[in-house]
Structure 1
Amino acid sequence: MEKIMKRLLNVSLQVKILGLIISLILLIVGLITTTFVILESKEDIKKAESIALQTAKTLSYMPVVHETIISNDQSEEIQSIADHIVGEVNASAILIENRDGRLFNEVPSSILDRLSNDKHKYRTLVFGSAYATNVGDGADALLIGMAPIYIDYGMYGKVEGTVAVVYKMETIMEDIAADTKKILIISFGVLLAGIFGGVMLTRSIRKDTFGLEPIEIASLYRERNAIIQSIKEGIVAIDSSEKFTMMNNSAKQILDIKTKVKGQSLIEVFHSPRMINVLRSQSENNNVELEYNGKTIIVNSQPIKEGSEKLGTVASFRDKTEIQKMVNTLSEVKQYSEDLRAQTHEFKNKLYVLLGLIQLEKFDEAMQFIKVESKYQEVQADIIFNHIRDEKIQAILLGKIAKASESKTEFIIDSDSSLSKLPGHFELLPLLIIIGNLIDNAFEAVSKVKEGEVSFFTTDIGNDIIFEVVDNGSGIDEKTVPFLFEKGFSEKGENRGYGLSNVKKEIESLGGSIELQYLGEEGTIFTVFIPKRLKQTKLGKGDESLND
């Protein structure tokens, strides 16, 4: 039974709506028809009673009827009058009788048989009452209007007879049935019109829903919400009245919005005139950069239009800071790759030199070259592999040694350096950004100085891990020191100035600090202090509810 019910309910939206419309029309038409039939029946019976009674009274007052009762003679005139009135009022029969029950006109025997007793005229003969009554039951029932024939004898008056106007109930019911048939024909026409209207309505709804069923629409709605919320790019939707209909979690994070915005107006949520103007625009906007809550945000907006009417706006947001961070990260990875390439290239060049010396049979020079290079490598290897035990720092320093060799820069790793394996929260990329940028800046600083030298020192004695990079370059202008770690500040040209800014950001994310000691024209010292234990100063922010 349950399976059958599920199958019956598992029908298309068109069938459901059409079935509901037909059911409602049938119910309404049925109720109206039933009500009308009942009221019409009562009205027709009441009307028949009224006509029968009034006709009987009228006949009872006629002089010719009085004369006939007094003379006790049946006349053709009485018969003619009775037949005429029967035709006029559409009655079944008229009975004109005296007190003794003598009839003065002809009456069908079928009616006389039903009126075989005198109970129906007792009240009229005894009390002189005029009334309407029913005689018999079911199909044989008769409706009778009774009136007394009152003869005035001067000194007194007397009821000498009765007039009865008779209606067969079956005749009245036939009239009611005829009226009911008309109503049913009209009702059937209404039903057909309703079915036609229902079909047109369901077609219109199906067209508006692109032929999708409610379960498919619900599924699409859930998928749409899931997709929008999973997108890392911020997305908002605004209707024609400038009220928010949707904002995903990424948009709330980018725009620093912590409350629900659905149903709120544009000016209630945003307080930036430029942001509001972009979202109100009647035309498409692409890659508009604007400042909002201290962030540089890239906005794309697309108005939703039907003809020339604007129905709403959809906009996307991207945090340029995050994009720049990603670009910087890719740059650092590229730089790391270049360092490794330089290391490979340097060793390859040395191998070619050694091969050349051997081919020229200059074995003494080859041996001397191997000894010098071996000694240099032993010193570097001893410091890197015996004093510095963290593989990530080793990899970074090996790459920088190769880069320094390729660029003919003297790069020295302080022999007093000592570093144990770093804690797990020290990842390769932040270390590459910190150490790599500082060493590269030092290489650049000594590139135009004769006998330029860059040294690196690290230690983990105490509670902090310390990295120090020293160069003997031309130094830093004292006026630029306050701006040195600001994003985008650089004296090296456009699209520069992100290295030290990223260094500071990564150091601060690890809970550390950086110090700068400038020696005028004699060089610069950068010292980084990072605690071994990560201090959790901020709790992570959970995702907002999806129901926005």
Structure 2
Amino acid sequence: MPRMGRTLASRILFAVLGIMAVTMALGLALFTRVTSRATDQQAVEQTRSIAVSLGHVPQVATAVEAGDPDHVLRRLAEAVRRDSGASYVVIIGRDGTRYSHPNPALVGQKIEEPVVALDGRVHTGVDQGSLGRSANARAPIFDANGRPVGEVSVGLLESEVGVRFTHEMADVLLYTGAALALGVGASLLLARGIKRVTFGLEPAEIVALVQEREAMLHGIREGVLGIDPSGRINVLNDEARRLLDIQGAVLGQRVVDVLPDNRLRGVVTGEVAGQDLVAVTDEHLLVLNRMPVVVGERQAGWVVTIRDRTELEALLRQLDSVEGLTTALRAQEHEFSNRLHVLSVLLELGEVDEATRYSRHLQADTALVGEEVRSRIGSPVVTALLLAKTTVAAERDVRVRLDPASRLTTPVADEVPIVTVLGNLIDNAVDAVADDPRTVGDHPRGEVMVSLGCEDGVIQMSVSDTGPGISADRLDDVFVDGFSTKEPRRGMRRGVGLALVHRLVTRDGGTITATSPDGARFDVTLPMRRKEVVE
């Protein structure tokens, strides 16, 4: 069990108490100083008022001039002291003789200091008298002609003022104690509220969780993007930055202000719903999942996980192509075996001339297709692609033809874009024809026409098929990531090929359009990069 001094509640309690104690101490010291000054000033004003009032009483002046033979001044001074609350009221003659004093032994004796009020003014202050330190006021006693004949000294002892101050301080201390008690209660409530928000975790545990989260987020090879309920980014690890190509500080910004308006942003914001959704960028093929985050039965936002499937998808497609080619070669092997058997039987029967004629006929048919393509296409790589696709399509009972008007004899510097685009378009066309339910039982199932040309430095490609085509209302969606009218095959994700083709074509400065006059037709233009010929 953690020690009390280390818990969140105790930290908040001690912090609040410390702040309040320091604040109260400073406030109390300031209040004491101000109140003490105010109390002294109040005492001085009170004594001044008493002294001035008594100095203007005619009977006082008459008795002082007569030497107070009837001791009237003593009784009068005692009555005034008792009624006013003063500590002492001393009436002094011109010669300094005391006619009244709280200490009877001093009555009739002279004061040590001069009679200062004979100048006709009132003198106030805090000084040391015979009874102790006191707030004092000395006012002149005026006769009927307005001449000073003595003085009245009225004082409030410091002890009496201190009693009043103590009563006021008791109220202040009571208020201070109540405030401290309220602070303790408020700190405990605050600690409980914070503990509830932080799920009962202590600060050290929260720090450890944050460190572990940062280490995990930035140490995995999967992108993680956290979005709060208002659509702002609050978590973004390094892999997500790389895959989404996000630069700079974007935490706190809205997703719609960071990502461009495309399918990727639609998946991240939830406009496109589903699991394992595919999005294609200029560099990557991404698979995204968007899951809600619920904390304490509250919707806290969403977490988007991002996986890079670029290499895996390329390998799957390459494997699919190799498997298709292998199947075609196996079929050709079977066909060649049949032909060899025919030749063998003809020779066994002694039909040498017929066997020779049959052999030349097979050789002419095989060479004719390859020679026809090579005569129109100058690139050996593109030629090999067309021949391979023709062989694979034939195995699926689909005929692939090269438009007789096709010509591409100019050497090309980079054939990868042409091969990638053309290969994907032919594959899609062959799939559409081979899977067309309308042609079941037909031989062949349908036809794919390929056209290649070059004009004014622009390569023009066209692939059309006799398949079911594309409905007019879906023509604008064929290049969107994930769009497909076919069922997934062998773990490969449908709706990716055309999206990749579109990204590749537009990135290289070309164009691609889709139409569906009778079947599907795709027209592509690509800027040509001529191969430099070294002489």
Q: Same fold (TM over 0.5)?
A: yes
How far did 1:124 drift?
1.6
CA distance in 2, matches of 1:309, 1:227: 24
CA distance in 2, matches of 1:269, 1:280: 12
**1:211 equivalent in structure 2:** 200
How far did 1:18 drift?
1.5
TM-score by length of 2: 0.59
**Superposition pairs for residues 67-466 of structure 1, below 5 Å?**
67-75=62-70, 78-108=73-103, 112=106, 117-119=111-113, 121-125=114-118, 127-136=119-128, 140-153=132-145, 158-281=147-270, 285-293=274-282, 296-304=285-293, 311-325=300-314, 439=326, 441-448=328-335, 450-451=337-338
CA distance in 1, matches of 2:37, 2:130: 16
8 A contact 1:233–1:250 mirrored in 2: yes
2:401 to 479, 482, 485: 479
CA distance in 1, matches of 2:70, 2:131: 33
* SS of match in other structure, 2:86: coil
CA distance in 1, matches of 2:245, 2:69: 112
8 A contact 1:150–1:161 mirrored in 2: yes
* Range 79-88 or range 171-180, more displaced: 79-88
* Range 485-494 or range 160-169, more displaced: 485-494
Summarize the Cα distance change of 1:282–1:267 in structure 2 as closer, same or farther, 3 Å threshold.
closer
CA distance in 1, matches of 2:130, 2:8: 49
8 A contact 2:96–2:115 mirrored in 1: no
8 A contact 1:285–1:302 mirrored in 2: no
For the aligned residue pairs, the C-alpha RMSD in angstroms reads 4.2
**1:342 equivalent in structure 2:** none
**1:356 equivalent in structure 2:** none
Summarize the Cα distance change of 1:134–1:257 in structure 2 as closer, same or farther, 3 Å threshold.
closer
Structure 2's unaligned 5+ residue stretches are: 341-383, 404-418, 436-486, 498-535
8 A contact 1:284–1:302 mirrored in 2: no
CA distance in 1, matches of 2:317, 2:274: 27
* SS of match in other structure, 1:279: helix
User: Which amino acid is 2:232 matched to?
Assistant: K
8 A contact 1:266–1:276 mirrored in 2: yes
8 A contact 1:445–1:475 mirrored in 2: no
Instruction: Say whether 1:23 aligns with 2:18.
Output: yes
CA distance in 2, matches of 1:8, 1:497: 57
Summarize the Cα distance change of 1:475–1:35 in structure 2 as closer, same or farther, 3 Å threshold.
closer
8 A contact 2:125–2:136 mirrored in 1: yes
User: Which amino acid is 2:423 matched to?
Assistant: F
8 A contact 2:137–2:153 mirrored in 1: yes
User: Which amino acid is 1:479 matched to?
Assistant: R
Summarize the Cα distance change of 1:102–1:473 in structure 2 as closer, same or farther, 3 Å threshold.
closer
Summarize the Cα distance change of 1:116–1:220 in structure 2 as closer, same or farther, 3 Å threshold.
farther
CA distance in 2, matches of 1:176, 1:305: 60
How far did 1:238 drift?
1.8
CA distance in 1, matches of 2:153, 2:164: 22
* SS of match in other structure, 1:45: helix
Percentage identity across paired residues of the two chains: 21
How far did 1:22 drift?
0.6
8 A contact 1:139–1:169 mirrored in 2: no
8 A contact 1:446–1:474 mirrored in 2: no
How far did 1:44 drift?
0.8
How far did 1:170 drift?
1.4
How far did 1:314 drift?
1.8
How far did 1:33 drift?
0.9
CA distance in 2, matches of 1:73, 1:497: 128
How far did 1:30 drift?
0.6
8 A contact 2:62–2:143 mirrored in 1: no
CA distance in 2, matches of 1:108, 1:497: 116
Summarize the Cα distance change of 1:108–1:136 in structure 2 as closer, same or farther, 3 Å threshold.
same
How far did 1:47 drift?
0.8
How far did 1:264 drift?
3.1
* SS of match in other structure, 2:221: coil
* SS of match in other structure, 2:246: coil
CA distance in 1, matches of 2:122, 2:29: 33
Aligned length: 372
**1:372 equivalent in structure 2:** none
* SS of match in other structure, 1:231: coil
8 A contact 1:73–1:104 mirrored in 2: yes
CA distance in 1, matches of 2:275, 2:130: 87
